[in-house]
Each structure stands twice: as structure tokens, then as C-alpha cells.
Chain A
């Protein structure tokens, strides 16, 4: 059987047209995003770095010059694009994080931080997969509150308790 070039083009185009929706459907499932939130107390009390924060130590020392870093609370949660996840932070602060989309290696999300019921900050950003965003500044006890927010696609890297110190490794790249 001979196939004319015109017929060949039509055949290939038809095959591609049938294949493309299949591909997009395969990619179109819910995009799972795991969000990590660490609440750190930074102060000048010369107590050093909390053992559980060692993976973040270099980063914190590179950004700030406090002498004490203490992990107050670690939290992690899994959500999907379009669904908001909330975290309760020390000092009556609340963090709402809603992943919007996954664009290549970047995770688009909206972050709203509340002080009680008052929204302190609203931001839209794209965070690199396994990247870290730090939100800090509010005074807390004898120092300042530093919130590290990490996000990664897929399942949590480690579901261990914060005492083990490992969850922060997921956002310490």
C-alpha cells in the first residue's frame, strides 16, 4: 500500500491531535504541595542555635546576627493547588497558604499572615520547589519571631516529629 504525502500529513496530525489531550489529562491531576512552616524565636540571649535548627543554621546566620535561635514550633501539611491550608503560629499569628499553580520548578501561592483577625500581610509569590521564604519581624517574648516557609511538590519529605530535627532539612536547601 502506498501512502501519499498529503495523506501522511493528515494521518500524523490526527495521531498527534488524539495524543495531545491524553497527555494533558495525564498531567492535569491534582497537584499536591507540601508546605513546611517553622516558627523560630531569634534573640540576643547567647544561647546559640537550637539543635533542631542546625540544617537552617547557616541560612539564619547568613541573614541575621542574633545569638539565639530557638525552634518554637514546626508544622507541615499537604494540600493541593487551589486549596488553602492554615497554620497557627506563636503569638496569636495565623498563616494561610494557598498554592495556586505549579509552573515548572516554581510553586505559585498566596500567603496571608493574620495577627489575630487582622491581616498583617498578603503576598502572591512563586517559590522555588523546596525553596524557602522567611517572614520575620514581629516581636515575640524577648526576641523576634522568624517564620520559615517551605514548599515542595508531592508528598512530605519526612513526617517525623520536629524534635527529630529532620523536617527542617526539607527547606534547608
Chain B
């Protein structure tokens, strides 16, 4: 039982053991005295140990933590946290303005695209692909029908051609006529699809 007095004093026993020791102490004076001696010894030891100097301890620990490598999201969060502390409600207002700007941009985007397409009506035609080489055009075509001429495949599902200044952007052209030609005349902004009769 004497071996259990120390842990009993420190509250380290199991509940049933604590209860057992407590019942024993109620009937055993020697163990009660021994327990009193343990308690006194503990108190004496605590009084003999000098209290550590804690001045500046917190600042030192924080400084050491700051020197540790931090994940980027922690640094960003800390930055904005400091910013909000410093700026106060100004940061919140800035966020509100930014949110309004984003929503406005989303809402006006279709109109902006429409405006841009009006200003740059030919921009999309630059995306046209030229997949086939030019061939001789019908001899009756004017000489100034520029070198934008491009031949379209006679086979089905051929991709069509549009010149860079055309009023038309052709994305698909199918014909069973083998010598279909497409060209644009930049000066008149006209696209021509030529379907000569087969001989």
C-alpha cells in the first residue's frame, strides 16, 4: 500500500485504486502520516525551485515562429489579416467595390463583345483556315480578284475558306462539284463562291 501513496498524492491512480487507498488511509495512521510526509515534501520542493524569468518569453517564441517557413496560403492570410487590422473597414469597402466591379464586368461582357464585334467586324475571319491551295479561277474572273483565292475540296465536308477582309466567314462548304472556288475581293468586301458547271 505504501507504494501507492505517492501516485495517490499525485492523483495518478485508477478510480477504484483511489477509492481503495482512501478507505485504507481512513483506518491506517502510519500511511496517513506517510502521505502527509509526501505532501510536505512536495510543497517544500516547489518552494525551493526558483520561478523562471518569463519576461520576453512570448515575444521570443513568436519571433522564432515567424522565422519558420510558412505555407503560402498562411502568409497570404496573415498579410490580409494584418491589412484588415491596419486599414480597418477600408479593406472591407475595397472588397465590396471589387465584387461590384466583377459582377458588372460579367453583366456587360456580352455587350462588350457585341461592341467589339461591331468595331472589328473582320476579326473573326482571321481565324478561317486555308486547307487547300489555290487553283486557277475561271478565266472570266477579273484579274484583280486578289490572291486570296482558295480552292475548296470537291470532296464532301471540306472546310471552307474566308479571306481576311471578307464580309462572310465560311465555316463549312459541301458540294459535289469538283472545282468549287471561293475568294474575296477586299475592295468590295465581297465573298464569292464559284460553282462552275461540270463539262
Contact = CB atoms under 8 A, between A and B. Distances in A.
Contacts of B60: none
Contacts of A142: none
A4 B95 CA distance: 12
Interface stretch (A33-41, A80-88, A132-140): A132-140
A127 interface: yes
A12 B95 CA distance: 13
A51 interface: no
A42 to B, nearest CB: 8
Interface stretch (A103-111, A153-161, A162-170): A103-111
B177 A62 contact: no
Contacts of B174: 121-123
A8 interface: yes
Given A5-B93, A122-B173, A58 B188 contact: yes
A116 interface: no
B: contact size bracket: 35 or more
Nearest to B197: A139
B95 A127 contact: no
Contacts, number: 147
A122 B172 contact: yes
B160 A64 contact: no
B60 to A, nearest CB: 38
Contacts of A134: 190-193
Q: Which 5 pairs between the two chains have the least Cβ-Cβ distance? A: A104-B117, A131-B167, A5-B92, A137-B195, A124-B172
Interface of A: 4-6, 8-9, 12-13, 16, 19-20, 23, 42, 44, 58-59, 61-66, 103-106, 113, 120-128, 131-139, 144, 173
Interface of B: 89, 92-93, 95-96, 99-100, 103-104, 107, 113-114, 116-118, 121, 124, 138, 140-145, 160, 162, 167-177, 180, 185, 187-197
7 contacts: A62-B142, A120-B175, A121-B193, A123-B172, A125-B172, A131-B189, A132-B167
